[in-house]
Amino acid sequence: MAVKIGIRPNGPYLVEGEVEVVDVNGNKVDTSARGPRFALCRCGASVTKPFCDGTHSKVGFQAAEGGGCAGEEVGVRNGPRAV
Ligand code: FES
């Protein structure tokens, strides 16, 4: 199954599919309790980083114009990326 990453307006990244999330030290982050679909914090305010806990609504997070959805290039990496 292909991995799908969606962007919620003024909200998190929604990740769907089989992926491995690792922290800044390369340690695997357990996503098993979240199922095949989970949300990664995009605002920086979550207390459960790297996951979204809904705090973006409380802090009034506003995404950059365009929300990263159109006209914004997405970097391509050859290997895992820590979040
Ligand atoms: S995007 Fe939801 S808490 Fe940061």
3-state secondary structure the chain: CCCEEEECCCCCEEEECCCCEECCCCCEECCHHHCCEEEECCCCCCCCCCECCCHHHHHCCCCCCCCCCCCCCCCCCCCCCEC
- Whole-structure pTM value: 0.78
* pLDDT score of 79 more than 90: no
Which residues have CB under 6 Å of ligand 1? 11-12, 41-43, 45-46, 52-56
CATH architecture observed for domain 2-78: 3-Layer(aba) Sandwich (3.40)
Predicted pLDDT of residue 74: 47
Look over the chain and give the mean of its residue pLDDT values, rounded to a whole number.
Answer: 85
Please state the atom number of ligand 1 nearest to the C-alpha of residue 59. Answer: 3
* Domain range summary for the chain, segments of one domain joined by +: 2-78
Task: Report CA(5)–ligand 1 centroid distance (Å).
Answer: 15
Please state the atom number of ligand 1 nearest to the C-alpha of residue 12. Answer: 1
pLDDT digits (tens, 9 = 90+) for 9-42: 999 999 999 999 999 999 999 999 998 899 999 9
Give the pLDDT band of residue 66 (cuts 50, 70, 90).
low
